[in-house]
Amino acid sequence: MRCKLVPICIIGGCMTFFGFLNIIRGLGTPLEKRTEERNRLVLYDSDVDVKESYVKSHKQHKLTPEKLQYYTPAPVPRRAHDGDDLSALLKDNVTIEVNGEFLQNFSATAHTVYARYTDFVLFTMVNKAYLTMTYNWLCNVEPFDGIIERLLVVSMDNETCTEISARSPAVTCMWLDLSTNAYDDALNWGKQSYVNFLTIRAQLMLSLAEANVSYVLFETDAIWFRDPIGYWRNATLIDDADIVVPIKGYPDQSLTLSFNPMIVLPTDTTRLFMRHFTQTLLADASLFDQDVMDPLCKRMYMGVRCRTFPWEDISDGLWFKLSESERKTFRPYVVNNNYYVGVDNKITRQALNGLWFLDLKGNCDGQRVRNTLAKHQR
């Protein structure tokens, strides 16, 4: 699947052919245009005439028929339905490594949180190194109603939950005791501890799907410029999606989908998808979650429908590279502070962009949040 998009390798890295074209054509092109191009290239759905959009790209980019064949979508597999025998489909069931008693507690707690609004739970995992970043995010979302009540935090050390609860008593935080402090330090992108963390998180994601809880997986190294709840609720109502994910501002070799924030609706198809996703990660300690999820989404594993958010609504680290005037052309709900390694670097980047809301003592400066959010409404 990954070879479907031809990577172009130049000094220092590879990118997809379209990524390359986008960069060449993108120079001097208005942002809306670039984003529109990008959106069109990530439609992977039976309901959308994918072929037609590729043919259109073909005309625009003067692709030869040899190149075009790489973009011809695979046949859409039959979708798993509610009446299907799930145990037969899940025959490659393997042991789940997160302690079963924890998973039971976790499902029960998730149900309690879910029952408050019955739309979705906001699920995130936080460790010691991310505590300050998480305080900043908690401060950021204070003006929005019902965020804290929907929040379900899992931490792998006992102090993080205690400290978060001391600051925001309404937060539901659970300590996943792994009898190790291996996850307390910064889990920087690419390190084995980070990859293992992703695999642990995948098991919790599967557990939520199996508990029939709709959720949004997210990370706290982000700025929420607008309250996304109504937007996410709409994304789950208007459509027959199983999963809704952002698209990357930068294509990463053949990977174009990103998984934070990610809406997960607990359909039977989603459960099969999550189980396969989790098992694949458990079986190979070198895999990142996106390496597994991106191709599964694109080839519609078990018929799963992965929809995408437009990049202008859920943006990523590319946003930080835009000029002030480019930023004013759209109003994202969420901007992820990613494509940047290291918590301290991320904090500095937010501070330099006026997006750090804690004062010198580490307390939430509500006025600064309100001013910043107001500024970005324009």
Ligand X SMILES: *[C@@H]1O[C@H](CO)[C@@H](O)[C@H](O)[C@H]1NC(C)=O
144/232 Cα distance (integer angstroms): 14
Rounded to the nearest whole angstrom, what is the least distance from the CB of residue 214 to ligand X in the complex?
Answer: 8
Binding status of residue 159 toward ligand X by CB under 6 A: yes
138/365 Cα distance (integer angstroms): 11
Rounded to the nearest whole angstrom, what is the least distance from the CB of residue 224 to ligand X in the complex?
Answer: 13
Binding status of residue 180 toward ligand X by CB under 6 A: no
Rounded to the nearest whole angstrom, what is the least distance from the CB of residue 278 to ligand X in the complex?
Answer: 12
Binder among 13, 77, 143, 230 for ligand X (CB under 6 A): 230
- Region of 11-19, 100-108, 243-251, 253-261 interacting with ligand X (CB under 6 A): 100-108
Residue nearer to ligand X on the CB measure, 55 or 186: 186
Residue nearer to ligand X on the CB measure, 123 or 356: 123
Binding status of residue 102 toward ligand X by CB under 6 A: yes
Q: Are 174 and 109 in contact (CB under 8 A)?
A: yes
Binder among 69, 72, 112, 158 for ligand X (CB under 6 A): 158
Residue nearer to ligand X on the CB measure, 69 or 105: 105
The residue count for binding ligand X (CB under 6 A) is 13
Residue nearer to ligand X on the CB measure, 15 or 222: 222
* Longest Cα–Cα distance in the chain: 62
| Secondary structure tally for the chain: helices H, strands E | 16, 14
Tokens 């393997």 locate to: 94
Residue 172 is given by DSSP the state E
Rounded to the nearest whole angstrom, what is the least distance from the CB of residue 118 to ligand X in the complex?
Answer: 7
**Measured in Å, how far apart are the chain's first and last C-alpha atoms?**
42
Binding status of residue 109 toward ligand X by CB under 6 A: no
234/365 Cα distance (integer angstroms): 31
Stretch 277-316 residues interacting with ligand X (CB under 6 A): none
What is the x/- site pattern for ligand X, positions 199-228, by CB under 6 A? -------------x----------------
Q: Are 32 and 310 in contact (CB under 8 A)?
A: no
Stretch 73-92 residues interacting with ligand X (CB under 6 A): 87, 90
Helices 50-61 and 31-40: angle between axes, nearest 10 degrees: 130
Contacts 24+ apart (CB under 8 A), 103-108: 103/203, 103/204, 103/207, 105/174, 106/154, 106/174, 106/204, 106/207, 106/208, 107/207, 107/208, 107/210, 107/211, 107/213
Binding status of residue 188 toward ligand X by CB under 6 A: no
Residues of this chain that interact with ligand X (CB under 6 A) are 87, 90, 93, 99, 101-102, 105, 158-159, 212, 230-231, 234
